[in-house]
Structure 1
Amino acid sequence: MTSHLAEAGRTLVPRKDDRYGLLSPALVILTFVAGLVDALSYLSLGHVFVANVTGNIVFLGFSIAHAEGFVWWTSTLTLAAFTVGAVIGGRIIHHFGENRARHLLVSTCVQTAFVVAALIGIYVLNRFAPEPSMGGTGAALAQAAQSAQAAGADQPSPNFPTANHIDLHVIMLIVLLAPAMGIQNSTARKLSVPDLPTTVLTMTLTGVIADTWAHGHEQSKLGRRAVVMTALAIGALTGAMLQTRGHEDVILMVMIGCLLMVIALMIPHVRSDARWVTGR
């Protein structure tokens, strides 16, 4: 247990000679961001994950089969917007991929710009297209819609758009947040820090169990893997608690704060020749 706690500590506060240096805590922060954005997207944007493409592909199949609660256009739009983000991420890799700190800095700056635009978009739409509103009154509107449904009224909830109820807030958030997560996924893939993919943690959990039974408890990397799984879970919990209270704007603010932390971690090292920066 002590060794696992030490491993978790080194993931969050790496030693100077650590092979991946500050990339590890930075990617843990981005994993927390992924939990936040997936809570927001799934609970507010009509059953989509903007960070996990696998879920969107499955949801697209559900919607084509006319499964209740799943709408094909939200899944399709999310996949298309995520693809745009991956393209942007690929171009960033092309220009900055040789320096890990600079690569993560640039990609996070672009990702932050998308999230800031989403935050501004919420307030603009609330001013000029206030129904349904987000960022402070979303929970109240959802409750009102549920009351209307209980009374027998044929009124879709703003949290679950239908083909006949295309919400500009939903479109705007998908179009801006899905590319941000496409950039994050492409960045994490290029950095290739073990057990820190920032979004899809299926293999991380599998690794804990399989490695324990294959090589013994000490080889499970439980400490490192538990940190990233906990970060995603806490991000999802935080996002869900804020969303159910109608604070979608606060979720975006927390995301921006986390992304600024990553930027602050990378700025001092863009010219460093440390092993974790150069990858050599």
Structure 2
Amino acid sequence: MTSHLAEAGRTLIPRKDDRYGLLSPALVILTFVAGLVDALSYLALGHVFVANVTGNIVFLGFAFAHAQGFVWWTSALTLATFMVGAFIGGRIIHYFGNNRARHLLVSTAIQLAFVVAALIGIYLLNQFAPEPSMGGTDASAIARAAQPSLNFPTARHIDLHIILLIVLLAPAMGIQNSTARKLSVPDLPTTVLTMTLTGIIADTSAHGHEQSKLGRRAIVMLALALGALTGATLQTRGHEDMILMVMIACLIAVIAMMLPYIHSDARWITDSK
């Protein structure tokens, strides 16, 4: 157990000679972001996964079978815009892929721009389409209806909010996925953790408990779960805007981690193997 805790600690606070350096804690933060955005997308945007986008292919099948609660166009739009993000991520790799710190900084900065645009877009959309009064004609209900909100309306203009957020958040996560794929830090894909969980059990069975990499793998699974917990808690309390703000804070943290190293020749920056 002590060795697993030490391994978890080295993932969050790597040694100076660590092969992956600050990439590991940065990708743990991005895994937390993935949990946040999937909580928002699944609970508020009509049963779609913006980060773990594979599920949308299954959801398309559900929608075409007319399963309750599943709409085909949200899954299709998510898949299409996610691919746009992956394309952008590929161009970032083309220009910055030979320097891991610069690559992660640029991709995260562009991802941040999409999330900031989503927050601003929601604010502006609510100003021009404020939430309609659902509580009668009393003065307090009218006052509530007249004030813009950063939270999602629940009536006639909800589709605009769904479209806006999918179109901006899915490309952001496409960029993140392409970046994590290129960096190829073991056990830190930032989104789909099926193989991470499989690795814990399979490696323990095949090679023994000490070879399971439990500490490292548990950290990333915990990050995704905590992101989902945080996002779900905020969403169920009507604070979808706060989810975007937390995402912005996390992305800024990753940028701040990478910024001092964009001209460094440390092994974790220049070694692409």
Q: TM-score, normalised by structure 2?
A: 0.91
Please state how far the C-alpha of 1:54 moved relative to its aligned partner. 1.0
Who is 2:59 aligned against? 59
Q: Alignment partner for residue 201 of structure 2, among 185, 193, 209?
A: 209
User: Do the aligned partners of 2:101 and 2:261 also contact (CA within 8 Å) in 1?
Assistant: yes
TM-superposed deviation, 1:53:
1.6
Counterpart residue number, 2:85: 85
- For residues 193 and 249 of structure 2, the distance between their equivalents in structure 1, rounded to whole angstroms, comes to 23
Q: Which residue of 2 is the match for residue 4 of structure 1?
A: 4
Q: Using a 3 Å threshold, how does the CA distance of structure 1 residues 97 and 19 change in structure 2: closer, same or farther? A: same
CA change 1:86–1:135 in 2 (3 A) is: farther
Is 1:235 matched up with 2:227? yes
Q: Which one-letter code corresponds to 1:52 in the other structure?
A: N
1:276 and 2:268 aligned: yes
* 2:225 is aligned with 1:265: no
Task: Give, in whole Å, the separation in 1 of the partners of 2:164 and 2:131.
Answer: 14
Q: Is the 8 A contact 1:135 1:248 kept in 2?
A: no
Q: 2: CA distance between counterparts of 1:137 and 1:252?
A: 11
Count of matched residue pairs: 258
Shift of residue 52, structure 1, vs aligned partner: 1.0
Q: Distance in 1 between matches of 2:151 and 2:258?
A: 36
Q: Equivalent residues in 2 for 1:62-141 (5 A)?
A: 62-131=62-131, 137-138=151-152
Distance 1:96 1:135 in 2: 39
Q: Give the whole-Å Cα distance in 1 for the aligned partners of 2:149 and 2:49.
A: 19
Residues 45-54 or 126-135, more deviating: 126-135
Distance 1:236 1:90, change over 3 A: same
Structure 1 residue runs of 5 or longer lacking an equivalent are 143-157, 159-163
- Cα deviation, residue 130, structure 1: 2.2
Contact 1:135–1:250 under 8 Å retained in 2: no
Do residues 192 (structure 1) and 218 (structure 2) align?
Answer: no
Any idea what the Cα deviations from partners look like across 1:114-151, whole Å, max 9, x if unmatched?
0000000110010012247996554xx66xxxxxxxxx
- Does the 8 Å CA contact 2:151/2:240 hold for their aligned counterparts? no
Question: Which of structure 1's runs of 4+ aligned residues deviate more than 3 A?
Answer: 131-138
Q: CA offsets per residue over residues 65-108 of structure 1, 9 Å max, x none?
A: 11110000000000001000000000000000000000000000
> Is residue 28–residue 188 contact of structure 2 (8 Å, CA) maintained in 1?
yes
Distance (whole Å) between structure 1 residues aligned to residue 77 and residue 113 of structure 2: 20
Q: Structure 1 length as normaliser, TM-score?
A: 0.89
SS state at 2:21 partner: coil
Q: Secondary structure at the match of 1:84?
A: helix
Q: 1:165 Cα shift?
A: 7.7
Of 268-277 and 52-61, the range deviating more from structure 2? 52-61
2:47 corresponds to which letter in structure 1?
H
- Give unpaired runs (5+ residues) of structure 2: 133-144
Contact 1:135 1:249 in 2 (8 A): no
The CA distance in 1 between the partners of 2:101 and 2:157, in whole Å, is: 43
In 1, Cα distance between equivalents of 2:210 and 2:130: 55
Question: Could you say which residue in structure 1 is the equivalent of 2:141?
Answer: none
Shift of 1:172: 0.1
CA distance in 2, matches of 1:245, 1:50: 21
Q: Report if aligned partners of 1:100, 1:278 keep a CA contact under 8 Å in 2.
A: yes
Rounded to whole Å, the distance in 1 between the matches of 2:183 and 2:151 is 39
User: C-alpha separation between the residues in 2 aligned to 1:166 and 1:2?
Assistant: 50
The residue type equivalent to 1:203 in the other structure is M
Aligned equivalent of 2:237, options 236, 245, 249: 245
Q: 1:139-183: per-residue Cα shift (whole Å, max 9, x none)?
A: xx66xxxxxxxxxxxxxxx6xxxxx98610000000000000000
Contact 1:135 1:247 in 2 (8 A): no
Query: What value does the CA root-mean-square deviation take over the aligned residues?
Result: 1.6
CA distance in 2, matches of 1:56, 1:204: 21
**Residue 223 (str. 1) matches residue 235 (str. 2):** no
Q: Distance in 2 between matches of 1:165 and 1:87?
A: 30
Partner of 1:53, secondary structure, is coil
